[in-house]
Amino acid sequence: MQADPTTSIDLNDITRESRRLATAITPASGKWDVIVVGSGAAGGMAAFQLATAGIKVLVLEAGRMIDTQKEYRTMEWPYASMRRGRLPPDERAIGVAEYNFLDRPYGNNPAFEKYRKLHSYAGNTFTRNWVVDEKEQPTTGTPYAGVRARILGGRTNFWGRGALRYGPLEFKSASHDGYDVDWPISYDDVKPYYDKVDVLLGCSGTTENLVQVPDGVFQRPSKLNCVEVEFKRAIAKLGRHYIPGRAGVTTEGVLNKYRMRCMGRGRCGRGCDLQSSFHSPTALIYPARDTGNLTVRPYSIVAEVLFDEVNNRASGVRVIDANTRAVMDFKARVVVLGAGTLESTRILFNSKSRLHPTGLGNSSSLLGCYLSEHMMGIRGSGFMPSRIGTDPTLDDGRPVPPYVPRFRNVTDRHPDFIRGYHFQGGGGAGEYPGMANEMPGYGRALKSSIRKYYPSMISLGGFGEVLPRKENRVTIDPVVKDKWGLPVLRFDYKFGENELKMAKDMAQSVEEMLTLAGAESIRVTTEALPPGWSIHEIGTARMGDDPKTSVTDRFCRLHDVKNVYLADASPFVSGGTQNTTWSILAMCWRTMDYLKEQMRAGEA
């Protein structure tokens, strides 16, 4: 059934509804035990764990509220776009340029123009209302292609749903290859929390018994299609695995009145209106609010953490109202920063005082250092002969594609680089034949060619670990400020020699696998995408037992100020090849358990 274009949402309606929701849950005044900054994976999990334990929590979200039933336009057709036809003819060219960069904000940066065109990231009409305007909130220094979302739930509203665990190779990577340092904790310390996250939020996958990608508590997995089964059998000859993707999606149901099980409709990146995919609002924020212990205040830009010199403690936070620019102070016993690695780091840098002149928690001078993420862009594709010219089948509707786990530097040692990479990608006939954009031809011949090759396509993209290096860092710009007068982040970040050698091997290995599988018309992209493209930033407030060589302790608490905790990926020491969200959720749960014990003991 096609959508009715008259039901499209008006932006003004969204804003009015956001303000109504905010008024409904935000009291005029109140006292809180803990202030949580951010409402995404980190902030949402922190709020849920604390509120359900009877602790009074204030969540400060820099953006607006969201009504997921109205704004997750999962099944809407493109012709029903709320912007279609709204601009007068003489403004449409301007409108295209204005709106296209808003989904992937770096699209308006000349340094990234060629990447935006090559990789078809020109725009997504279904999510562009959820990310920041880079003209209002710029960054400086080396180009960094990050994505920031200021909306309840942050980037969980459109995340890629990859639910992979870090394992022994990540937590003890230095012991494995001698580079840098191990985490001060082990996989065994975090495994119980991964298990709890799987049960609470739902995780789809298969048991594989692979050390490079630990198994979890899985619900029903997705299946490989014909093209993928053929590819799996081929690469098994190399000792490599091709397994169903692990997704933060409930395929069998969870005990949450806001969520339903997955119906396999696809289009997950628009936000799942069944709430099957994990989104912080429905999975964490709303249940936490139902306890009566959670207050959410939107449009609340945290300028700094307030510091009490007499007691050497944080006393609260200073907030700038995004709409009125009014400045307000909110007080609490504990402050939890869960605004994301980069934004939490910026808040700490901007939290200066006599005792902390270079930023709160920065006595080691390591705040902002060791920024890391994943290198992406190396990919390969081809057509599997056995499926060329056959009838297309229904091969989409999966929340994530299949996955080739890391196979480099697991049991052996590659001569050119350390650590490793994995591939994600699949084949078969999806909702739209993506290869059509690159096929030559015109008219009837082009259509015939597309139909012929539609069921046979297979494509894989790599995720490579970027080594944590002290010189890869963020600071705050001494001059440039955002719309609200706050210093912006300044990047000094680039890929190193290890990543460049890894990229070369990634390209060779994906071509090798496609060739072994008998694929035709193989195409390989050898150039990495710009830094930041993965949106998996970690490590700028790394954890450790020594305050001289780390920013936070093994429970993600600032060494310098004992009542400030970090709930996001900023304390991560290294990241492996795995997507970060599931580790953020597990680590945050562990940190909040520790915080609750500290509060019960009167130590926080």
Of the candidates 289, 213, 218, 207, the one whose C-alpha atom is nearest the C-alpha of residue 251 is 218
* b/e burial code for range 51-87 (CB count within 10 A of at least 16 → b): bbbebbbbbbbbbbbbbbeebbbbebeeebebeeeee
User: Which residues neighbour 355 within 8 Å (Cβ) at sequence distance 6 or greater?
Assistant: 307, 309, 312
Domain count of the fold of the chain: 1
Q: Which two tokens stand for residue 398?
A: 């999966």
Indicate whether 168 belongs to any domain: no
The distance of Cα 105 from the centroid of its chain, to the nearest Å, equals 15
pLDDT tens digits along 241-266? 999 999 999 999 998 999 999 999 88
The partner residues of 459 in beta bridges, in order of sequence, read 381
How far CA 250 is from CA of 205, 216, 399, in Å, comes to 11, 14, 10
Point out the least confidently predicted range of 75-84, 153-162, 260-269, 353-362: 75-84
Chain position carrying tokens 């123009």: 113
pLDDT band at 112 (very low <50, low <70, confident <90, very high): low
Phi–psi pair at 366, nearest 5 degrees: -105, 0
pLDDT in the model for residue 115: 54
Q: Which two tokens stand for residue 91?
A: 């403004």
Chain position carrying tokens 């580079």: 179
Domain residues for 392?
A: 222-247+375-465+495-530
Residues in the chain: 604
Strand order of the β-sheet with 57-60 is 294-297, 57-60, 34-37, 334-337, 564-566
Indicate whether 392 belongs to any domain: yes
How far CA 52 is from CA of 188, 259, 444, in Å, comes to 25, 18, 61
pLDDT band at 518 (very low <50, low <70, confident <90, very high): very high
The partner residues of 404 in beta bridges, in order of sequence, read 423
The partner residues of 497 in beta bridges, in order of sequence, read none
**Percent of the chain predicted with pLDDT > 70:** 87
The partner residues of 382 in beta bridges, in order of sequence, read 458
Q: What angle do CA 344, 345, 346 make, to 5 degrees?
A: 90
463 or 119, which is more confident: 463
Indicate whether 540 belongs to any domain: no
pLDDT in the model for residue 11: 37
pLDDT in the model for residue 540: 98
Chain position carrying tokens 């012709």: 79
pLDDT in the model for residue 123: 41
Q: Which two tokens stand for residue 190?
A: 């975090």
Strand order of the β-sheet with 327-331 is 300-308, 313-321, 327-331
Indicate the SS3 state at residue 566.
strand
pLDDT band at 86 (very low <50, low <70, confident <90, very high): low
Q: What is the mean pLDDT of residues 319-337?
A: 97
Strand (E) or helix (H) holding 422: strand 421-424
Indicate whether 304 belongs to any domain: no
User: CA-CA distance, 506 to 466, in Å (whole number)?
Assistant: 13
Indicate whether 443 belongs to any domain: yes
User: CA-CA distance, 517 to 103, in Å (whole number)?
Assistant: 36
Of the candidates 542, 575, 543, 531, the one whose C-alpha atom is nearest the C-alpha of residue 419 is 575
Mutual orientation of helices 581-600 and 187-201 as an angle, nearest 10°?
100
Q: Are 489 and 342 in contact (CB under 8 A)?
A: yes
How far CA 128 is from CA of 41, 132, 419, in Å, comes to 19, 9, 35
- Mind giving me the DSSP string for 454-478? GGGEEEEEEEEEPPP-TTSEEEEEE
Indicate whether 454 belongs to any domain: yes
pLDDT band at 105 (very low <50, low <70, confident <90, very high): very low
**Percent of the chain predicted with pLDDT > 90:** 78
**pLDDT exceeds cutoff 60 at 103:** no
Of the candidates 211, 305, 235, 319, the one whose C-alpha atom is nearest the C-alpha of residue 560 is 305
What are 131-137's contacts with CB under 8 Å, separation 24+?
Answer: 131/102, 131/103, 131/105, 132/105, 133/102, 133/105, 134/101, 134/105, 134/106, 134/108, 134/109, 136/482, 136/483, 137/482, 137/483, 137/488
Q: Are 266 and 419 in contact (CB under 8 A)?
A: no
Q: Which two tokens stand for residue 541?
A: 């407030």
Average pLDDT, the chain: 89
Pairing of strands 421-424, 374-375: unpaired
The amino acid sitting at 524 is: V
Chain position carrying tokens 């994505």: 147
CA quadruple 310, 312, 313, 319: dihedral positive or negative?
positive
CATH code: domain of residue 506:
3.30.410
Q: Which two tokens stand for residue 553?
A: 């302790």
Indicate whether 243 belongs to any domain: yes
pLDDT tens digits along 205-228? 999 999 999 999 999 999 999 999
Indicate the SS3 state at residue 37.
strand
User: CA-CA distance, 582 to 277, in Å (whole number)?
Assistant: 13
**pLDDT exceeds cutoff 50 at 22:** no
The partner residues of 249 in beta bridges, in order of sequence, read 277
pLDDT in the model for residue 89: 46
pLDDT in the model for residue 85: 54
Q: Are 357 and 391 in contact (CB under 8 A)?
A: no
Chain position carrying tokens 């279609």: 84
33 or 603, which is more confident: 33
Indicate whether 543 belongs to any domain: no
User: CA-CA distance, 110 to 497, in Å (whole number)?
Assistant: 25
Of the candidates 460, 522, 3, 413, the one whose C-alpha atom is nearest the C-alpha of residue 228 is 460
pLDDT in the model for residue 23: 38
Pairing of strands 140-141, 487-492: parallel
Of the candidates 101, 130, 135, 127, the one whose C-alpha atom is nearest the C-alpha of residue 116 is 101
Of the candidates 546, 57, 496, the one whose C-alpha atom is nearest the C-alpha of residue 293 is 57
Look up the pTM and report it: 0.91
